[in-house]
Amino acid sequence: MQDGSLTRTVDRTGKVNKEEVSILSSTVPQMTVLSGDNNVENIIRHRITFTEKINRFLNSNVVTITLNIATIYALFGDDIKVLGFAKSADDGFSSLVVICLFFFAFELFLCFLFKPDYKWSFYFWLDLIATVSLITDISWIWESALGLSSGSSSSESLQNAGKASRAGTRSTRALRIIRIVRLIRIVKLYKNAKIAMKNREKRKNEDDELIRDMPEAQESKVGKKMSEVTMKRVIIIVLALLFILPLFETDFYFSSQTSWEYGLTELKIFLDQDGFDDAMDEYWSYHENDVRPIVYLQYTTGDGVQHEISSNKTNYDNLRFSEIFYSSSGNLISIFDLRYDVKLTSLLNVCRTIFICIVLTLGSIYFTKDTEDLVIKPIEKMIEKVKIIAKNPIAAAEIQEMSNKREEDDEKSKSKKCFGLCKAETKKQDYETKLLENTILKIGVLLALGFGEAGSLIIGGNVEAGGDVDPMANGNKIIGIYGFCDIRNFTDTTEELQEGVMMFVNEIAQIVHGLVDKYLGAANKNIGDAFLLVWKFQKDELFLNEEDKIVRNPVSKRAQYLPDVTMISFLKIMAKVNKDPTILKYRTNQKLLQRMPNYEVKMGFGMHLGWAIEGAIGSQFKIDASYLSPNVNVASALEGSTKIYGVPLLISGPLYESFSEPIQHYCRHIDTIVLKGNAKPLKLYTSDCDFSEFTPSRGADRSKMYFRRKRRILKKGLDKQEFTTADIYSRSKEIALMRKPFTREFFDLFIKGVNNYLSGMWQMSKNQLEKVLAIRSRDGPTLALMSFMSETAYRAPAHWKGSRYLG
């Protein structure tokens, strides 16, 4: 088990199994056995650094949504204030700006400290300038900067209006620049939108089991750099245009004289003269009903008397300084209501902001689309696939098949949309990047096929490590079930089929490998006429205690059902070999029949459970990934012993004991032996098969995708307990058919005979076994036991201990 992994040993009632806990804690020091009060999350939480916590906080949905809302307010708040609210609401809007300013400053501070790539970067300066620009939206700060007092008297209000007028051109131009700078915050919205789309895509892929198990896809360095450079250029171009274009407008440098100012100048001529009152009335009435009405007029006559005329509709004290126009000429002062212009400007500002959002988005997409489609995305796909191969080389073949199927589906859908006219065009789009991507997958597939599951660590380790290839590495001790199968009469078959023997072996291998894969195993070695097949347990499923006995973790569902499916896979292989038309055709091969009358393809199988060392065998010139262990040799010896006992399948005692009770009923104890090189007796079991009633079946799908799909369905069903292994056996028509000739009486008599044989009462055993032969005259185990006992005239040797030596 890898460092830091956690396991809890409990019984089926949910209580902690103290005996197994002591075994595990004493024999597996790497494993942490947790009590019910401990929490895995508390342990993981201590491993997270403070910087990671800050980054998670900054990337959290709450912070992102809050900052997006604040950004939208910063972009549109001031214009919305002007469009829909009176001057009295300015303090409330300014308070909201202060809150937004705090949020942005806080985010800027944290990003500056805890994101190294952000510090002094292009986006740091953009965010800093945009954040500082918000200060102008705080009314009391901006008014103080213009030198406007907060007095409420009429003279002070008029004085403030005069100051605002004198600073008008300067402040208007400054505000115009500041508003443009504030549009930089759009970049933040765009970046957050891209992150949200990626997260959505990630959540969408979590439903796919294969994609979910893949390493998290990250943006490549090339893609990240290209996106940043493109985005910077788009931002600089748009902002440069916004800054530069106003410089080409005359009103940026000076203001043209208006009718308000001209009329006031003309009115000054009539001051203290006859006809002044008529001219003043005409001036007032002319502007009173305009869209920009006059709201205040003040003049001082030569005798020092000050006169004021105010609008009955609007008091200029209730207007913002940006909503009035102050004009003075000598002793005359007039103030006009510019709310129409200000509101129109605010509305245009909103439209401009939205337009710039669209321009930035479309500009970024336009400039990056071709590069992303042709270069960045293919490179990221290649990197992702290399990471997948590094993590799970066995998945490479499945990924390739899924990719091919997806491309075929896309091509069909595209062909339907354009009525088949764009099919040829689609084929032309195979660029070099696509060729490289497919080549990486093919190399991964070849590596997986060549090294198998045993070589996954070698492939993954070398791919992740980089540098020179180092196939020489320490082995990995695992616990597994090892199946060894052999094709009978292979030498004679080879001599007769000659070149055709390769097709013969591969057709059998397709069945063997496919069904083993379907039933959660993996093919390891092909040795001419023999195959080594392995079902590997994870380190948290089975353990070796101090007495070298295997301890099963009762919490693990896979540890419970995996032994059961190993036997059914071999039974299914035997059934397939005796009914598949591809294999049955060799029964009519004249060359084979001439050399071996009544020829049938027959195979022998041996199965055993135990530990093994998984790793590379060989040198830097040539290596094979396989398993080294006496237990693998036991499986090979059992396969060879099937010829002695006349059965196609032999199962060791340790494997039989790992079967669930319902599956054990499908096995028959036929002998107890001592193999060469082993001191301990080994019980032998078989699962009885009779294929005499099998009839040829139709050709079936034997593609890898078919078997992998069946594998996923089987694993999902067993993991979710939708069915049990006992259900698989009981529902199998093939198993029922091959066991049909074996009666209950046959099994009862054989059990009695074997028990007497093991007890040393061979004469009694002979009598029972003769009755067995009366039922099935060609029963292999019975004939084998009778032959062995006949060597000593059915008398057990004096040293008999219930087992015989089998060299």
Task: Write out the DSSP string of 315-363.
Answer: -GGGS-GGGEEEEEETTEEEEEE-HHHHHHHHHHHHHHHHHHHHHHHHH
| The 3-state secondary structure of 702-754, one letter per residue | CCHHHHHHHHHHHHHHHHCCCCCHHHHHHHCHHHHHHHCCCCHHHHHHHHHHH
Indicate the pLDDT class of residue 32, thresholds 50, 70 and 90. very low
Name, in order, each residue with C-beta under 8 angstroms of 619's C-beta and a sequence gap of 6 or more. Answer: 472
DSSP state of 523: E
CATH topology of domain 476-737: Alpha-Beta Plaits (3.30.70)
**Which structure tokens are listed for 79?**
């214009």
Of 248-262, 328-342, 598-612, give the range with the top mean pLDDT.
598-612
What is the Cα 393 distance to its own chain's centre?
A: 16
Q: Which residue has the higher pLDDT, 6 or 81?
A: 81
Indicate the pLDDT class of residue 194, thresholds 50, 70 and 90. low
d(CA 577, CA 510): 11
- Which residues in 567-605 are b (16+ Cβ under 10 Å) and which e? bbbbbbbbbbbbbbebbbebeebeebeeeeeebebebbb
Q: For residues 427 and 443, is the Cβ–Cβ distance under 8 A? A: no
Query: In this predicted model, what pLDDT tens digit does every residue of 348-364 receive, in sequence order?
Result: 988 988 887 787 777 76
Q: For residues 773 and 745, is the Cβ–Cβ distance under 8 A? A: no
Name, in order, each residue with C-beta under 8 angstroms of 691's C-beta and a sequence gap of 6 or more. Answer: 574, 575, 578, 738
For the chain, what is the total number of helices (H) and then of strands (E)? 34, 17
pTM for this one? 0.60
DSSP state of 636: H
**Which structure tokens are listed for 335?**
């103030």
d(CA 508, CA 203): 42
Range in 6-10, 337-341, 531-535, 613-617 the model is least confident about: 6-10
CA angle 723–728–733, rounded 5-degree value: 140
Range in 218-227, 538-547, 757-766, 770-779 the model is least confident about: 218-227
Q: For residues 656 and 664, is the Cβ–Cβ distance under 8 A? A: yes
Q: For residues 445 and 400, is the Cβ–Cβ distance under 8 A? A: yes
pLDDT at position 514 over 80? yes
d(CA 453, CA 538): 13
Q: What is the DSSP string of 431-445?
A: -HHHHHHHHHHHHHH
d(CA 395, CA 522): 12
Query: In this predicted model, what pLDDT tens digit does every residue of 158-187 receive, in sequence order?
Result: 666 655 555 544 455 555 556 666 566 666
DSSP state of 677: T
Give the helix ranges, DSSP H, for 121-275.
Answer: 122-132, 139-145, 154-166, 168-182, 185-205, 209-212, 221-244, 259-270
pLDDT at position 256 over 90? no
Pairing of strands 603-618, 649-652: parallel
Query: In this predicted model, what pLDDT tens digit does every residue of 528-551 receive, in sequence order?
Result: 889 999 999 988 888 777 667 788
Name, in order, each residue with C-beta under 8 angstroms of 532's C-beta and a sequence gap of 6 or more. Answer: 482, 483, 484, 523, 524, 525, 626, 627, 632, 635
* pLDDT for residue 697: 83
Instruction: Kindly report the average pLDDT of the chain as a whole number.
Output: 79
* pLDDT for residue 241: 79
Name, in order, each residue with C-beta under 8 angstroms of 780's C-beta and a sequence gap of 6 or more. Answer: 645, 646, 647
Q: For residues 638 and 484, is the Cβ–Cβ distance under 8 A? A: yes
Query: In this predicted model, what pLDDT tens digit does every residue of 48-101 receive, in sequence order?
Result: 588 888 888 888 888 888 888 888 888 888 889 989 999 889 889 999 999 999
pLDDT at position 793 over 80? yes
pLDDT at position 210 over 80? no
pLDDT at position 753 over 90? yes
Indicate the pLDDT class of residue 46, thresholds 50, 70 and 90. very low
* C-alpha dihedral (346, 352, 356, 357), degrees to nearest 10: 60
- What average pLDDT score do residues 387-396 get? 66
Name, in order, each residue with C-beta under 8 angstroms of 448's C-beta and a sequence gap of 6 or more. Answer: 393, 394, 396, 397, 456, 459
* pLDDT for residue 636: 93
Query: In this predicted model, what pLDDT tens digit does every residue of 592-614 receive, in sequence order?
Result: 999 999 999 999 999 999 999 88
* pLDDT for residue 465: 63
From first CA to last CA, the distance across the chain in angstroms is 37
**Which structure tokens are listed for 531?**
């195959």
* pLDDT for residue 408: 59
